[in-house]
């Protein structure tokens, strides 16, 4: 069964995003369009042959903790081996590290295919990539040589070990402690970590944790947190490193990937290796987390995409009811895709997932530019990506809870049963507004940090990019109305932002109380912008008389749908954001 659209992914990358532009940078110079196509083909083959067949099985047969070791689906070994042997884990890394210098944009596009096929299975190698990247970027040559080769090959699993029982959203409260030893850079680690994705399992031979901990007597708060490599088994001889699996979490969805509760150094036998300098761990981790956050948005969009295609195929095949006004019960029933309300549920999904995918790939390209370019181009790409990251993480995460719900609704009663995968997608989508920073945290990040950053420079860049799109769209017949509408909403958003900023000085509580709504507000504007861009690309093709009229007409309809049904939500949110009544501040605990 179709779980994504190859045609749309190619549209997004090559037509809309013009990803080939990246090859003008020296780092990506060797790549050609043919190579990118081959990469996507290869991704599709792994997805179809290895990941997709286990989608349901991995959900029904959760990982188990047996005698202190987590057992995962036995198919995971072959999947991870595929990722390792085919160079996916370090594909974006430099040639001199055995990598292929593949743009992250392509890696994300391939990830989108894997995630749409089987989200749980896709998580394992992506975590390893993130962890290896941290060692590579901030670790010593010794650490790189000691740990990364077996991570690249898929022999070892990588993780990001942040959360503790008392430190979830509040990372500054981490209490896992690192005690200096006589060996430089080597520490004894003690503490516990919870919710560690792939924190232990039997499909790899070792687990390499990139762990946040506080060196003994370090300053309190974020300024005293350091980053360590903490292997589950000692290297090279494989003795236990005293990282014990205390428990496994059972979850609503995303069941194929194990989430572990780890006890570290309970027997005083855990060695960790400092990455980079002391006390800089959180800033190192955040560089990876920003990528991971865009990655979470991609996960959500991918699950939403799989649900969309599942509901689309059902809607085309399921006969039920007749056209409105057709009173003759002897006429055959029509496929439900012909009902306006079902088309609405499908257009809703399509406009959200393709709008999100467009934003996410755009962010990935900004990341590639920030990595490969120099000077102003690098700086601006980096700043704009910072601004867009909370949006790219949260908008797809929140909205794909709703699009997967719409997919369930298209199937009706059948959608609520386990006979179809949409209920699984609905359960799996729900994790994304939580992990890698809850939506509330990202609202604070956008309004409290990214909007004011560098005296509003990120916000200006964002406005400039949208204004450029509007400028060009106004010149295209058929799109000028949409351009003007977006311009109007952009203007309102600027006023609303200024209004909120005016509270920042002396009423911080009131400034940030509705930050989550502001995030949603700017999220809608951002996706409307992405739709105007896609609409321009499509309109040009339609005017050229492209032979793919259906595909491009679908894009124009989504643009129209998004502006008609989604963009207007800014009216309600904007009204709220300008209001002076603050019930969430005045509400008292004992009034609930």
CA dihedral (46, 404, 295, 191) positive or negative: negative
Q: Which of helix, strand or coil describes residue 247?
A: strand
Distance of alpha carbon 119 from alpha carbon 71, whole angstroms? 18
Q: Which one of the spans 50-58, 133-141, 244-252, 356-364 is the region binding a second copy (CB under 8 A)?
A: 244-252
Using CB under 8 A, which of 416, 456, 474, 478 touches a second copy? 416
Instruction: Tell the smallest beta-carbon distance from residue 270 to a second copy (Å).
Output: 24
Instruction: Tell the smallest beta-carbon distance from residue 385 to a second copy (Å).
Output: 25
**In terms of CB distance, is 179 or 249 closer to a second copy?**
249
Instruction: Tell the smallest beta-carbon distance from residue 424 to a second copy (Å).
Output: 8
Which helix (H) or strand (E) segment holds residue 153: the answer is: none
Question: What is the chain's alpha carbon radius of gyration, rounded to the nearest angstrom?
Answer: 24
Residue 172 DSSP class? G
Using CB under 8 A, which of 69, 449, 488, 575 touches a second copy? 575
- Which of 254, 257, 291 minimizes the C-alpha distance to 107? 291
Residues numbered 481 to 510 that lie near a second copy (CB under 8 A) are 508-509
**In terms of CB distance, is 29 or 569 closer to a second copy?**
569
- Is residue 530 within 8 Å of residue 359, measured between CB atoms? yes
Distance of alpha carbon 361 from alpha carbon 381, whole angstroms? 13
Instruction: Tell the smallest beta-carbon distance from residue 126 to a second copy (Å).
Output: 19
Residue 447 DSSP class? I
Identify the active-site residue in 44, 354, 436, 465. 436
Q: Which residues contact 393 (CB under 8 A, 6 or more apart)?
A: 293, 294, 296, 297, 436, 437, 442
Distance of alpha carbon 404 from alpha carbon 305, whole angstroms? 9
Q: Determine, following the binding rule CB under 8 A, whether residue 146 of this chain makes contact with a second copy.
A: no
Q: Which residues contact 60 (CB under 8 A, 6 or more apart)?
A: none
Q: Which one of the spans 67-75, 234-242, 246-254, 292-300 is the region binding a second copy (CB under 8 A)?
A: 246-254
Q: Determine, following the binding rule CB under 8 A, whether residue 279 of this chain makes contact with a second copy.
A: no
**In terms of CB distance, is 29 or 344 closer to a second copy?**
344
Distance of alpha carbon 570 from alpha carbon 576, whole angstroms? 10
Residues numbered 288 to 347 that lie near a second copy (CB under 8 A) are 312, 316, 319-322, 324-325, 329-330, 333, 335, 337-344, 346-347
Residues numbered 378 to 407 that lie near a second copy (CB under 8 A) are 401, 405
Length of the chain: 592
- Is residue 447 within 8 Å of residue 513, measured between CB atoms? no
In the residue annotation, 465 being an active-site residue is answered as no
Residues numbered 151 to 210 that lie near a second copy (CB under 8 A) are 163, 166, 168-170, 172-173, 194-195
Q: Determine, following the binding rule CB under 8 A, whether residue 409 of this chain makes contact with a second copy.
A: yes
Q: Which of helix, strand or coil describes residue 26?
A: helix
Q: Determine, following the binding rule CB under 8 A, whether residue 6 of this chain makes contact with a second copy.
A: no
Q: Determine, following the binding rule CB under 8 A, whether residue 443 of this chain makes contact with a second copy.
A: yes
Other C-beta atoms lying within 10 Å of the C-beta of residue 271? 20
**In terms of CB distance, is 141 or 588 closer to a second copy?**
588
- The footprint of a second copy on this chain (CB under 8 A) covers a number of residues equal to 102
Beta strand 186-197 pairing with 225-231: unpaired
Site string for a second copy, 349-368 (x = CB under 8 A): -x------------------
Distance of alpha carbon 547 from alpha carbon 255, whole angstroms? 43
Residues numbered 420 to 439 that lie near a second copy (CB under 8 A) are 423, 426-427, 430-431, 433-435, 438-439
- Which of 310, 267, 250 minimizes the C-alpha distance to 62? 250
Site string for a second copy, 506-545 (x = CB under 8 A): --xx--xxxxxx----------------------------
Distance of alpha carbon 244 from alpha carbon 190, whole angstroms? 11
Residues numbered 451 to 480 that lie near a second copy (CB under 8 A) are none
Beta strand 64-66 pairing with 69-71: antiparallel
**In terms of CB distance, is 378 or 560 closer to a second copy?**
560
Using CB under 8 A, which of 412, 480, 491, 502 touches a second copy? 412
Q: Which one of the spans 14-22, 87-95, 237-245, 569-577 is the region binding a second copy (CB under 8 A)?
A: 569-577
Q: Which residues contact 182 (CB under 8 A, 6 or more apart)?
A: none
Instruction: Tell the smallest beta-carbon distance from residue 586 to a second copy (Å).
Output: 7
Using CB under 8 A, which of 216, 250, 449, 454 touches a second copy? 250
What are the catalytic residues?
Answer: 436
């Amino acid at each position: 069964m179709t779980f994504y659209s190859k045609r749309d992914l190619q549209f997004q990358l090559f037509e809309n995003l013009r990803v080939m532009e990246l090859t003008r940078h020296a780092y990506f110079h060797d790549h050609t369009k043919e190579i990118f196509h081959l990469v996507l083909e290869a991704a599709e083959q792994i997805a179809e042959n290895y990941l997709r067949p286990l989608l349901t099985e991995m959900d029904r047969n959760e990982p188990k903790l047996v005698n202190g070791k987590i057992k995962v689906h036995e198919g995971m070994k072959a999947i991870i081996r595929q990722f390792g042997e085919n160079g996916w884990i370090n594909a974006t890394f430099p040639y001199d590290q055995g990598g292929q210098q593949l743009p992250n944009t392509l890696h994300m596009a391939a990830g989108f295919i894997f995630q749409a096929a089987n989200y749980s299975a896709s998580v394992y190698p992506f975590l390893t990539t993130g962890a290896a990247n941290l060692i590579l970027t901030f670790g010593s040559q010794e650490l790189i040589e000691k740990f990364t080769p077996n991570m690249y090959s898929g022999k070892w699993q990588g993780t990001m070990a942040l959360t503790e029982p008392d430190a979830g959203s509040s990372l500054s409260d981490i209490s896992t402690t690192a005690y200096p030893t006589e060996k430089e850079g080597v520490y004894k680690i003690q503490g516990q970590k919870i919710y560690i994705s792939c924190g232990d399992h039997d499909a790899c031979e070792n687990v390499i944790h990139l762990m946040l901990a506080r060196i003994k007597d370090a300053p309190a708060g974020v300024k005293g947190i350091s980053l360590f490599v903490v292997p589950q088994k000692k290297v090279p001889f494989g003795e236990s490193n005293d990282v014990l699996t205390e428990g496994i979490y059972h979850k609503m969805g995303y069941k194929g990937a194990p989430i572990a509760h780890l006890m570290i150094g309970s027997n005083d036998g855990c060695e960790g290796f400092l990455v980079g300098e002391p006390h800089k761990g959180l800033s190192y981790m955040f560089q990876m987390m920003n990528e991971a956050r865009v990655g979470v948005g991609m996960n959500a969009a991918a699950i939403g995409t799989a649900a969309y295609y599942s509901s689309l195929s059902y809607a085309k095949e399921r006969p039920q009811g007749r056209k409105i006004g057709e009173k003759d019960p002897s006429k055959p029933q029509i496929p439900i895709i012909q009902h306006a309300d079902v088309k609405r549920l499908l257009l809703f999904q399509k406009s959200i997932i393709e709008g999100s995918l467009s934003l996410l790939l755009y962010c990935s390209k900004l990341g590639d530019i920030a990595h490969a370019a120099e000077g102003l181009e690098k700086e601006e790409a980096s700043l704009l990506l910072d601004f867009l990251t909370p949006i790219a993480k949260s908008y797809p995460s929140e909205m794909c809870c709703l699009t997967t719900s719409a997919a369930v609704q298209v199937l009706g009663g059948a959608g609520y049963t386990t006979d179809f995968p949409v209920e699984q997608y609905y359960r799996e989508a729900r994790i994304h507004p939580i992990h890698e920073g809850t939506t509330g945290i990202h609202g604070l990040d956008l309004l409290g940090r990214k909007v004011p950053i560098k005296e509003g420079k990120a916000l200006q860049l964002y406005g400039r990019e949208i204004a450029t799109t509007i400028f060009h769209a106004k010149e295209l017949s058929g799109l000028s109305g949409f351009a003007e509408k977006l311009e109007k909403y952009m203007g309102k958003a600027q006023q609303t932002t200024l209004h909120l900023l005016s509270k920042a000085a002396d009423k911080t509580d009131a400034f940030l109380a509705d930050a989550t709504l502001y995030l949603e507000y700017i999220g809608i504007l951002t996706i409307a912008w992405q739709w105007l861009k896609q609409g321009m690309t499509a309109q040009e093709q339609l005017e050229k008389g492209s032979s793919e009229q259906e595909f491009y007409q679908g894009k124009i309809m989504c643009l129209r749908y998004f502006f008609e049904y989604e963009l207007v939500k800014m009216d309600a949110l904007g009204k709220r954001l300008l209001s002076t009544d603050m019930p969430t501040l005045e509400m008292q605990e004992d009034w609930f």
